Structures are given as C-alpha cells and as structure tokens.
C-alpha cells in the first residue's frame, strides 16, 4: 500500500460505523433504488453483467485501460493480463472471461485494437459506451454513501466526473485483495452473487419487503409473503431460474417459501443481516477508494 493509501486507511468509514449509523436504513434504500434504476427492466444488461464474475471482469477491464502505459508492455490490457488479474478473485474461469469479452465487443462496449508498439498484440479498449456505463455503476455504488454522509458528500462520483472515474479506477486496481475479502466474508451473499441476476433478485425482494413494511405501518393488510411471479421478467431470467435460486436459499435458511407451489417468499433475518453486512462492507471499501483517489487528484 502506498504512503497515501496508509494515510487514508485509518480515516475512512468502517463497516461497523456504517452499520451503526442512524441513517443506515436510508442508505440501504438509496443503494437498492440506485441499483434498480440502473438494471431493472434492462434484460440485456442483466444477462451480460449481473453476476459477480462478469461485473468484476467489466470493472477490471476499465481499470486496466486507465493503467495502460504504451511504453510499458507489462501494463498493456491484453486478454492474458485480464485473465491474470482476474485469477485472484476465483469467480470466473478463463473461458467465461473470453465469452464476456466477445459479448462486450459484439455489442459495442469494447474494442480489441492492435498495440501501437506491437501490432501483433491486441489491446482491450473500452468504448465511450462502456466508460459511460462504468460511471453509472460507480454512481449507484456511491449513492448510499451520499445518503449517509451528504456533507461534504461524493459529488465527484455522483456527478460522473471522468477525471475522478480515472483516479478511482486506478486506485481500485491495487485493492483487489480487499474486494476478495469482502466476497469471502459474505458467503450467504455469494449464493446470490454467483448466479445470473441473483443479486438483483435479492435486491428486488428487499425493495418489496420495505414497501410491504411501509404498507403495514400505515395500517394496510400485509400479505404472508412476497410474490416473485414477475421478478424474472424484470431481469431477463425465467421464473424457474428465480424459483431455483430461492429454493437453494430456503435450504440455506435464508428465506422461507409458502403458498401454492412455494410462490411466496419471506426474507429471513439471516439474509437481511447478510445483505446489510455486504452493503456496509462495500460502502466502506468504496469510501476508502474515494478518499485515496481524491487525495491523489489533489496532490497532482
């Protein structure tokens, strides 16, 4: 870790501080709504990205792009370097990385261009479309921090500042181990994160549960469970796929299924606690990256 990283590592908001904060519930809902705004109803993006391995690969390509130094072949963002950097996460095989790259190229998010130094080498180069989507994703990840700590806030990332995007992605490249720790420290969340649209299914259920709780507080009759009948269509997966994920979650004690054919789902305290821990850990990590990136921009 650099001297600048060490200077900020002890001053960022910790997961424990975030979980105990009186505005955590508002921050959680800000995260849920921001992610749903980005992905809900967009079956294409869900099929392409919403699974841990694919999202991390997407993020890594952007980071490697910003770290690219034409004069240093070790930094060239090739398929080989991408696979090497992804190996530490253990969430995506080389074949799946190749498949995602091919899809990103096919749909105009990524180009494979010959190196200016060695035209035999193909450089993975994000298009403006990919960089804009990355800004949208970063903004959604910082929405809960903005809700919890609005002063001075996170205007650089919420406002999609390209200079900050570059600084943040360069800093993130050196924090792969921290991201691995967050994943490893939340095994219950991995049941959803490792499945196509799995985390979006959980986020939508958290959103529905919050709405049901608000209705109950207003005196409306509460149902005995949440219907997941149309959730698959919202995220480009089948109802059978949703049911399979929820059945696996039920076996793990994370949800309860009831009604005819198990058509209603109840989020158990265990999954809500796991979700909150994951959100808090992610917020803490993003806060650290923000402080370091901002510090480096100021120093520069």
pLDDT along the chain (300 residues), means of 10: 49 93 97 96 84 92 97 96 92 91 96 90 97 97 97 95 96 87 88 93 96 80 77 92 96 93 90 96 95 90
- The alpha carbon of residue 121 and the mean position of all alpha carbons in its chain are separated, in whole angstroms, by 30
Q: Yes or no: is domain 24-175 CATH 1.10.10?
A: yes
Q: Which of 55, 22, 69, 299 is nearest to 200 (CA)?
A: 55
The answer, as to whether pTM is greater than 0.95, is: no
Phi, psi dihedrals of residue 122, rounded to the nearest 5°: -100, 125
Share of residues in the chain with pLDDT > 70 (%)? 95
Beta strands in the chain, from DSSP E residues, in sequence order: 110-114, 122-126, 226-227, 255-258, 264-267
Q: How far is CA 190 from CA 61, 129, 183, 274, 290, in A?
A: 22, 29, 7, 10, 25
Tell me what pLDDT residue 1 has.
42
């Amino acid at each position: 870790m650099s001297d600048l990283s060490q200077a900020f590592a002890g001053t960022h908001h910790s997961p424990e501080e975030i979980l105990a904060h009186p505005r955590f519930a508002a921050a959680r809902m800000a995260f849920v709504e921001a992610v749903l705004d980005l992905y809900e109803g967009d079956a294409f993006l869900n099929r392409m990205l919403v699974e841990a391995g694919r999202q991390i690969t997407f993020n890594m390509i952007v980071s490697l792009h910003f770290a690219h130094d034409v004069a240093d072949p070790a930094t060239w963002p090739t398929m080989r370097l991408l696979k090497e950097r992804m190996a530490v996460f253990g969430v995506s095989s080389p074949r799946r990385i190749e498949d995602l790259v091919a899809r990103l190229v096919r749909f105009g998010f990524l180009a494979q261009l010959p190196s200016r130094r060695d035209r035999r080498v193909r450089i993975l180069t994000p298009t403006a479309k990919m960089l804009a989507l990355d800004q949208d994703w970063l903004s959604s990840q910082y929405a809960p921090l903005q809700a919890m700590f609005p002063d001075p806030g996170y205007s650089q990332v919420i406002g999609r500042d390209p200079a900050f995007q570059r600084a943040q992605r360069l800093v993130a490249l050196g924090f792969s181990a921290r991201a691995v720790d967050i994943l490893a420290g939340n095994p219950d969340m991995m049941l959803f994160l490792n499945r196509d649209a799995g985390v979006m299914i959980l986020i939508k259920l958290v959103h529905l549960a919050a709405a049901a709780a608000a209705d109950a507080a207003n005196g409306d009759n509460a149902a005995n469970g949440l219907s997941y009948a149309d959730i698959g269509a919202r995220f480009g997966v089948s109802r059978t796929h949703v049911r399979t994920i929820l059945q696996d979650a039920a076996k793990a004690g994370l949800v309860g299924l009831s009604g005819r054919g198990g058509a209603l789902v109840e989020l158990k305290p265990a999954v809500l606690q796991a979700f909150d821990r994951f959100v808090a850990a992610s917020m803490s990590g993003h806060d650290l990256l923000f402080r370091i990136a901002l510090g480096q921009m100021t120093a520069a």
